[in-house]
Amino acid sequence: MAVKLYDTDYVIVDSKTKKPMEGYEIIYHYTSVINDFNEKLMKEGCEYVSMSELSDEDKNKYIETIKETEEFYNERTKFI
């Protein structure tokens, strides 16, 4: 049976040595990492959420901003 490691899975490592700090049986899916991080952020009054969880108004503002940014970038690079 083939086993594959995915870039959406994470482990906790020592910042200096980059060696795992937990057993090799402990692997976190990226959603778990976000949940853990959010617990810390919520103490500061903020959190990460999926774009799909935003209100329609906020989604539309993001879409408008992305389009404006793309237009600006395309205009700017047209002369390069």
Mind listing the pLDDT tens digit for each residue in 35-77?
Answer: 999 999 999 999 888 889 999 999 999 999 999 998 887 776 7
d(CA 64, CA 45): 26
Examine the domain organization and report whether 62 and 44 are in the same domain: no
Examine the domain organization and report whether 23 and 61 are in the same domain: no
Structural domain range at position 17: 1-48
Examine the domain organization and report whether 7 and 44 are in the same domain: yes
Examine the domain organization and report whether 11 and 27 are in the same domain: yes
The helix/strand/coil state of 20 is: strand
Examine the domain organization and report whether 42 and 58 are in the same domain: no
The model carries a pTM of 0.58
Examine the domain organization and report whether 37 and 6 are in the same domain: yes
Q: What is the CA radius of gyration of the chain?
A: 19
d(CA 13, CA 51): 29
Higher pLDDT, 78 or 49: 49
pLDDT computed for residue 79 by the predictor: 64
Q: Mean pLDDT throughout 4-21?
A: 91
d(CA 78, CA 80): 6
Q: How many structural domains is the chain composed of? A: 2
Examine the domain organization and report whether 1 and 31 are in the same domain: yes
